[in-house]
Amino acid sequence: MDKGDHISVTLSGASVNGTEEDSLTTKQPQRRSLRRSWNQLPRCQRNLIILAVLALCLTLVLVLYNDQIDAENNRVIGNNGGAFLFRENREVANSAGIVQNGLSDGMNALDAGNLNNNLKNPLPNIGPPPLSFSNDNAPVFKDVKVIDTPNLNKKSDDNLQHAGERPKESLLQGPLVEFPNKISIQENNDNRIDEPAVEAQSGGGDDDNRAAVEAAILNPRVVPGTNNVLITDYINNMEAKLVAQKQHFHGATNERQTAVVAAFRHSWNGYKKYAWGHDNLKPLSQSSHDWFGLGLTIVDSLDTMYIMGLEDEFTEGREWVSNFLTFDINRDVNLFEVTIRILGGLLSAYHLSGDKMFLSKSIELGNRMLPCFLSPSGIPYSDVNLASMSAHSPKWSPDSSTSEVTTIQLEFRDLSRSTNISIYEKVTHAVNKKVHALEKTSGLVPIFINANTGTFRNYATISLGARGDSYYEYLLKQWLQTGRKTDDFLIVDYMRAIDGVLTKLLRRTPKEQHVYIGELINGKDFKPKMDHLTCYLPGTLLLGHKFGMPTSHLLLARDLLETCYQTYMRQPTQLAPEISYFALTTNEEQEIYVKPNDAHNLLRPEFVESLYYFYALTGNRTYQDMGWNIFQAFEKHTKVAYGYTSIGNVKHIFNTRLRDMMESFWLGETLKYFYLLFSDNRKEIDLDKWVINSEAHLVPLRNH
């Protein structure tokens, strides 16, 4: 047999030409051609074998391709690092101090002049110890098991896979939360003033709530649940012990606070001259702009003026609210915006001043917004006409923003607690329970929810920026507002969500290791985009850590604060853009970059808010110096003759493109946080007694 013709194998059976008997007798192995055997097979069998081989090859190709994708993702996320190893220059010793040492009121501060000289790492040494809080506030969760997870190199759906080895007990990692498949969580009188607790997932009481709402909206000027008692009569007959006690503030005590007060007065005087009673000032055209027709700037500014000690200006605002603020306006308004700005502003002014007029206005406004809760699902409609008291979904979509329907509970609950009228808390806490019961992605929620069906929009984006941000903020703050119960599903949802942030949204840039929070487009595709709105998160995480949240929350807060600061300092104006993008690979020229359409600055407060929390909870004056750099940038690039204005381009100091709009949150939030940040008394607002809403208005903490 010619070996060059084909390959042969030894067969144990009969030879080709001989008989089986001959083969058994001689015991000689015979050789049979594979090609001949293949040709002798029926055609159908040959086709089946070919198809099987092709399928095997295709499977191998797909497996190898997916392995290459995983390897590339691991390289992008960070070599030799873990989900919590945010910056390579972070020392383990510092992290040990975080966990083991107590809070230091006299932390070492960086020299202010060094901040601008070290943009890559503006916080090289937070001070010994960096941050820590007493264990007295740590909650003991009955239904949630908190564990240390020393190794994150294991690949799973909920953990990022990283290359390289890590210490088994890395202090940078911090504890994660392990949740059983089924958690039984029971409310303890969380949504009732005088009714028994109910199961968190229960939909019971919806019919009763609907009937109460329908009765309440028959006459918005009477107290719900009473025999047509007028609001003014009800408020005037309140027991003295139930009325808020007047708070006292001492005014500016240093040059930086004085500068902020001057900025507020400059803004207020321009508004008073050209836009009095309207929503917003247009300082360049010396005119006004109305969004809702509710005097947004006045109501948003009331508690700022009170805290700053501006008695004359506060009196001016108070008189306008008493005599001219009316809600009988035939115009659609947004439930969320009116709640956090107007209702929140009125309630905060009431709690600080003890003036019952503000509470009276709050009740009427609350009544007029109740029609939003008459949707088929109980998830509120986004818009309501305060005069006709008819509510509907936004005109541009059948869906409401998730953050909007979940960022009204602090205010409505406080309205109930302040008046002993339970309906406001009932309808808004019912929304908490409905959202709690919905399926989520590692605790993260899509940014749209349908008021008719009560379900999230399929394939919607997941983001901690616009339309998603304050959902997570209010989970924590509602838990604080109601006494920090250990079996409250709100805090369980919060911990799940932050765990989801750490495993699904957290990334760091490949060269300079900037930590940022991205988005999941269509709920699954990662996009390295972070809104300035997301810069509220460091402060919220730090506040949670003060009250017992895991160390991983603290570490993320510190590193994300650095990144947010860089979004300011890397721009020629030293003002942050509305949106920043981040490099995914080493081939990209810039680690943090801005697209032309996202380069505007609206005088937003979120990063200053986080700086305030870091200063208030640590006493480290480094954060004051960082804030002062930003305040000076606002002074230089946004101040005009009759106020301050948004700008269209933070990337060019000679072409900032003034936009002729001074938003109400400039006075209500940004300047308030600057003032508190620069205070000599970091506890000017006692965060053990107050919680601050999404519009920087103060709400008292309760023990239930």
Residue 473 falls in the annotated catalytic set:
no
Asked if 115 and 565 touch (Cβ cutoff 8 Å), the reply is no
For residue 246, give both structure tokens: 């007047």
Q: Which helix (H) or strand (E) holds 399?
A: strand 399-401
* Distance, CA of 521 to CA of 145 (rounded, Å): 31
* Distance, CA of 255 to CA of 605 (rounded, Å): 21
User: Catalytic one among 279, 606, 609, 663?
Assistant: 606
Dihedral sign of CA atoms 366, 377, 472, 150 in order: positive
SS3 609: helix
Residue 21 falls in the annotated catalytic set:
no
CA-based nearest residue to 335, from 280, 404, 402, 395: 404
CA-based nearest residue to 665, from 694, 690, 691: 694
Residue 578 falls in the annotated catalytic set:
yes
CA-based nearest residue to 244, from 364, 413, 411, 357: 357
The amino acid that residue 452 corresponds to is: N
**400 bridge partner residues:** 449
3-state secondary structure 661-681: CECHHHHHHHHHHHHHHCCCC
Residue 337 falls in the annotated catalytic set:
yes
Asked if 646 and 603 touch (Cβ cutoff 8 Å), the reply is yes
* Distance, CA of 180 to CA of 214 (rounded, Å): 40
User: Catalytic one among 313, 332, 425, 469?
Assistant: 469
* Distance, CA of 429 to CA of 191 (rounded, Å): 6
Regarding beta strands 448-450 and 399-401, do their DSSP bridges make them parallel or antiparallel, or are they unpaired? antiparallel
Task: Tally helices (H) and strands (E) across the chain.
Answer: 24, 22
DSSP code of 339?
I
User: Catalytic one among 190, 303, 337, 559?
Assistant: 337
* Distance, CA of 134 to CA of 633 (rounded, Å): 36
The amino acid that residue 482 corresponds to is: T
Establish how many alpha carbons lie within 13 A of residue 421's alpha carbon, considering only the half-sphere containing its beta carbon.
26
Asked if 640 and 593 touch (Cβ cutoff 8 Å), the reply is no
Name the one residue in this structure whose structure tokens are 């690949």: 155
Residues 164, 170, 174: CA angle, nearest 5 degrees? 120
Q: Which helix (H) or strand (E) holds 100?
A: helix 92-100
* Distance, CA of 268 to CA of 281 (rounded, Å): 9
* Distance, CA of 629 to CA of 46 (rounded, Å): 77
For residue 244, give both structure tokens: 């808020």
Name the one residue in this structure whose structure tokens are 């919060």: 494
**689 bridge partner residues:** none
Q: Produce one character per residue of 349-386: b if its CB has 16 or more CB atoms within 10 Å, e if not.
A: bbbbbebebbbbbbbbbbbbbbbbbbbebbbbbbbbbb
For residue 168, give both structure tokens: 């088994």
User: Catalytic one among 578, 591, 609, 669?
Assistant: 578
Active site residues: 337, 469, 578, 606
